[in-house]
Amino acid sequence: MLFVTGITGHTGKWFLNRLIKEKYQGKIKCLVRENSDTKFLDHSGLNIEKVYGSLEDKDLLDYSMCNVKTLLHISSILFSNNVIDAAIKNNLKWAILVHTTGRYSKFKSASEEYIKIEDGILKKRNQIGITVLRPTMIYGSSHDRNMYKLIDYLYRHKFFPLFGNGENLMQPVHAKDLGYAYYDVLTNANIAFNKEYNLAGRHSLHYIDLVKCVSEELGRKNIIVKVPLPISVFAAKIYNYFNKHAIISVEQVLRMQEDKAFSYKAATQDFNYSPVSFEDGIKNEVKEYIEYYHKGK
């Protein structure tokens, strides 16, 4: 039996899509929140049992994982300790954890907690097999928290302020590629057991080129205004001083200068991971945005 968290989320739905496509025969337990829309689970045609509750409820996790063999934890890394502890108590054989490449950030506030959680969990490999998947920035639809905001800003504004020179590398990964990768890992246990994989988009690109790509796909002629880094940092300080609800911090400005490019060679070798390029992957998200925007007019 398979136990899944986060199946109603952005990449979880793509994982379910792959299960349906492959006519998966095993029994699946899915932990979902009481207010989650689960119609797509009911109509999947798969052998799914829904468990309603929260990942904060350790007793529920202990009870729910009885007779389970494998765990796929798609939900937040912040709950990884809870699910791993419950998995160990129930003698599960294997846990697949979806974490983040955020652990590699040089900024402690961004990476310290991720490192602490993940390294602590990896020490438990003597009690359970643990495979860790680390996606980069996820995009693909209105459900993402990153690219959709950029699309909206570029569509609504002529000028785009770019903090720094925009030469930092980005390698966003499409939600479909991740959801499908979860399935490929699950069905390649003999290879993927107890391993760690970075999961990124097909290739890296400079942030300024990423912005230009989205602008072009939108059919906009945005004017990119490069703001020198010292001025950007100073402006962010002033902005945060006067606005208690500031949407960008000084550290975020600095973190935007970091390269976020990662090799996925191991994933390709072990389970044929072959992600889409950003140029192709962003097309449907832009299309979704434009359709929604005009529908609301």
Q: Which domain holds residue 84?
A: 2-135
When pLDDT is cut at 50, 70 and 90, the band that residue 255 belongs to is confident
The region of weakest confidence among 9-23, 110-124, 202-216, 244-258 is 244-258
Residue of higher predicted confidence among 216 and 233: 216
Sign of the CA dihedral with 217 first, then 218, 219, and 225 last: negative
When pLDDT is cut at 50, 70 and 90, the band that residue 223 belongs to is very high
Does the global pTM surpass 0.95?
no
Instruction: Specify if 297 maps to a domain.
Output: no
When pLDDT is cut at 50, 70 and 90, the band that residue 105 belongs to is very high
When pLDDT is cut at 50, 70 and 90, the band that residue 150 belongs to is very high
Structure tokens at 91: 């003698």
* 110-116 contact pairs (CB < 8 A, 24+): 110/251, 110/255, 113/78, 114/77
Q: What integer best gives the mean pLDDT of the chain?
A: 94
DSSP 107: S
Strand partners, 50: 30
The 3-state DSSP class for residue 68 equals coil
CB 169 within 8 A of CB 232: no
Angle among Cα 165, 167, 168 to the nearest 5 degrees reads: 115
**With 80 as the cut, is the pLDDT of residue 87 above it?**
yes
Instruction: Specify if 101 maps to a domain.
Output: yes
Residue of higher predicted confidence among 235 and 179: 179
Distance set, CA 9 to CA 41, 82, 132, 214, 293 (Å):
12, 19, 18, 24, 22
Over residues 272-279, mean pLDDT: 98
Tokens 């969990």: give the residue: 121
Task: Provide the pLDDT for residue 180.
Answer: 98
Structure tokens at 29: 């337990």
Instruction: Specify if 174 maps to a domain.
Output: no
Residues 6+ apart with CB under 8 A from 184: 271, 272, 273
What CATH number has the domain bearing residue 118? 3.40.50.720
**With 60 as the cut, is the pLDDT of residue 297 above it?**
no
Instruction: Specify if 290 maps to a domain.
Output: no
| Rg of the chain in Å (alpha carbons) | 20
What is the number of domains present in the chain? 1
Share of the chain above pLDDT 70, in %: 99
Look at residues 71, 73, 74, 80 and name the one whose alpha carbon lies nearest to residue 114: 80
Residue of higher predicted confidence among 291 and 268: 268
Q: Give the separation between CA 285 and CA 174, rounded to whole angstroms.
A: 10
Instruction: Specify if 109 maps to a domain.
Output: yes
Task: Provide the pLDDT for residue 241.
Answer: 84
Q: Give the separation between CA 148 and CA 143, rounded to whole angstroms.
A: 8
Instruction: Specify if 159 maps to a domain.
Output: no
Look at residues 294, 135, 258 and name the one whose alpha carbon lies nearest to residue 200: 135
Instruction: Specify if 210 maps to a domain.
Output: no
Structure tokens at 16: 């379910």
Instruction: Specify if 168 maps to a domain.
Output: no
Task: Provide the pLDDT for residue 247.
Answer: 67
Q: Give the separation between CA 37 and CA 39, rounded to whole angstroms.
A: 6
**With 90 as the cut, is the pLDDT of residue 233 above it?**
no
